[in-house]
Amino acid sequence: MVKFGVMGAGKIAHRFCQAMNGINETLYAIASRDIERAARFVTNYGFAKAYGTYEELLADPEVGCVYVATPHGLHYEHVKLCLEAGKNVLCEKSFTLNHHEAQELFDLARSKELFVMEGLWTRFLPAIQEVKKLVDNGDIGDVIEIDADFCFESGAGADDRLFDPVLGGGALLDVGIYPLTLVNLILGVPDSFDAEVTMGPTGVDITEKITYFYPHATAVMNASIVADLGREAYIYGTKGYIHIPSFWSTEVATVYNKDHKIVREIAVKHLVNGLEYEIFEVIRCIRRKEIESAVCPHEATIEILRQTDAIRASWNFRYPGER
């Protein structure tokens, strides 16, 4: 049995707890700087313990793995605390603000023989894994273009973590990381890129268009936290194409031939809400005493962050707390 501790009590922590309970895994302890919020999690999800500090959570010997559900800008600090306390870690995306921070944490985990993984749940979705198999098998021929967008109007105020540069706010690390991940899964690392951005009044990126160039393919990605400009992906090949609605969380995908006729429909309904698949992987790895997942290896996380680093550098944009 792997007893999970949860660090942070925000929206994504709720979804994680719902997934854990839905697959009957063990939620042991919750920690929040606001002890009343932690207590509500105990009531709602059946935790055995609630702590008002992260240090108390990490001092509990019963905690076998910590899910870090705090804002991006705090991930480096909090994952490091977990590793120094001897805890295995599942950290919500984006793993850190840049690839240097990620590399340091992975090196620390390896030196302590601890498991650590980024919770980039899209990688684990059965529908996405089936899409990758179809592409790799050549079912749509050679991939020549990918269009992937994750744009929404958050409606949040300027004081929300989405718009706070200190907390790693902005569209790129919050939602842009999803189309980047899909494109890397299908086409790999690009040869070059172009990136257009609109910066918001708080100093973070709020809308961007990123184009990746490959020898025989192009990928166009849009991300926004202020405009609802679409949330779907198309993978175009020489023999057909695949449409994936809500690709970052999808249960379905449709394969078409060159004549726009459906040749296959992929449908894999989530057991709970989709986060369960990354949880299965974490538990499997820990039980086997593995320190790295083959589905979301350390290098995959580092490579995506290298790319977001390069994109931000082209905008002359750095987060205040970057290391």
Q: What mean pLDDT do residues 73-94 have? A: 98
Task: From 222, 224, 180, 228, select the one nearest 204 (Cα to Cα).
Answer: 224
CATH 3.40.50.720 describes domain 126-267: no
Mean pLDDT over each residue of the chain, to the nearest integer: 97
What is the number of alpha carbons within 13 Å of residue 128 lying toward its C-beta? 26
Q: Are 28 and 48 in contact (CB under 8 A)?
A: yes
Q: Does 298 score more than 90 pLDDT?
A: yes
Give the pLDDT score at 321.
82
Task: From 72, 52, 87, 318, select the one nearest 203 (Cα to Cα).
Answer: 318
Domain ranges of the chain: 3-120+275-303, 126-267
Q: Does 102 score more than 90 pLDDT?
A: yes
Q: Which of 11, 49, 80, 93 is catalytic?
A: 93
Give the pLDDT score at 262.
98
207-247: pLDDT as tens digits: 999 999 999 999 999 999 999 989 999 999 999 999 999 99
Among the four given CATH numbers 2.40.50.100, 3.40.640.10, 3.40.50.300, 3.40.50.720, the one describing domain 3-120+275-303: 3.40.50.720
Give the pLDDT score at 4.
98
Q: Does 158 score more than 90 pLDDT?
A: no
Task: From 30, 76, 20, 80, select the one nearest 56 (Cα to Cα).
Answer: 30
Rounded distance between C-alpha atoms, residue 29 and residue 6, angstroms: 6
Q: What is the dihedral of CA 162, 167, 168, 173, to 10 degrees?
A: -50
16-41: pLDDT as tens digits: 999 999 999 999 999 999 999 999 99
Q: Does 260 score more than 90 pLDDT?
A: yes
Task: From 114, 111, 116, 113, select the one nearest 76 (Cα to Cα).
Answer: 116
| Verdict on whether the full-model pTM lies above 0.75 | yes
Ramachandran region, residue 264 (left: φ > 0; alpha: ψ -120 to 50; beta: rest): beta
Q: Are 180 and 210 in contact (CB under 8 A)?
A: yes
Give the pLDDT score at 323.
87
Rounded distance between C-alpha atoms, residue 22 and residue 28, angstroms: 15
Q: Please list the alpha-helical segments (H only) found in the chain.
A: 11-22, 35-45, 54-59, 72-84, 99-112, 126-136, 171, 177-187, 276-287, 298-315
Q: Which residues pair with 132 in a beta bridge?
A: none
Residues 6+ apart with CB under 8 A from 249: 121, 122, 125, 274
The yes-or-no answer on residue 239 being catalytic is no
